[in-house]
Chain A
Amino acid sequence: QSALTQPRSVSGSPGQSVTISCTGTSSDVGGYNYVSWYQQHPGKAPKLMIYDVSKRPSGVPDRFSGSKSGNTASLTISGLQAEDEADYYCCSYAGSYTFWVFGGGTKLTVL
């Protein structure tokens, strides 16, 4: 069982917006502004999409945005495109004993 809880799947039509939640505790998501999100296409390595809750690395479209409220972080993808179909994982720093914890992953289907 993963430390952070994500929905198993979400879906949306092209052009729509979807939000993926990531729920932790005050020891991880709620305790630090160190949430990151990764996109993984089948058979490929994960790719960083969001870091420090809401920052986008260079090259990531501004359709991807992140936020956090309390112990829950969220990834929102607006203007869905076919190539956004992938698995998405959240990750949070969890202190100097556990260090980093991931969510179980969410499969995004673009209908």
Chain B
Amino acid sequence: EVQLVESGGGLVKPGGSLRLSCAASGFTFSNAWMSWVRQAPGKGLEWVGRIKSKTDGGTTDYAAPVKGRFTISRDDSKNTLYLQMNSLKTEDTAVYYCTTQNGDYFDYWGQGTLVTVSS
């Protein structure tokens, strides 16, 4: 059974940093492309960024609102995905979901972790 468990969310001040983790199990993590998708309170879904598998180059892509501030990385030895968030803004407040990416869709989702950016 595929399981994705996010952690690391919390309250942070504007301009601060936070690192989210996503522990994966039930599939071959090293072969998987992974994405982060976020959802602001009461709002819709927004794609944040993606990392390819190392065999496919391990490259990352980001949505325009987070490019240059957020960094996605992976540790295949730990089956863990990361999202390093710097220079956080109030508009980054959201539940952040870790997802597996199968081609051009997101097939498995974690339960999410809440990030609140507020002074």
Contact = CB atoms under 8 A, between A and B. Distances in A.
A98 B48 CA distance: 11
Interface of A: 2, 32, 34, 36, 38, 44-48, 51-52, 57, 89, 91, 93, 96, 98-105
Nearest to B61: A99
Interface residues of B, number: 22
20 contacts: A32-B104, A34-B103, A34-B104, A34-B105, A36-B104, A36-B106, A45-B112, A48-B105, A51-B105, A52-B103, A52-B105, A57-B107, A89-B44, A98-B64, A99-B47, A99-B50, A99-B61, A99-B63, A102-B44, A105-B45
B73 to A, nearest CB: 18
Given A45-B97, A45-B111, A46-B97, A101 B106 contact: no
Nearest to B106: A48
B104 A45 contact: no
Interface string B37-63: 100000011110010000000000101
B110 interface: yes
Contact of A48 (B45, B61, B107): B107
Contacts of A44: 111
A72 to B, nearest CB: 18
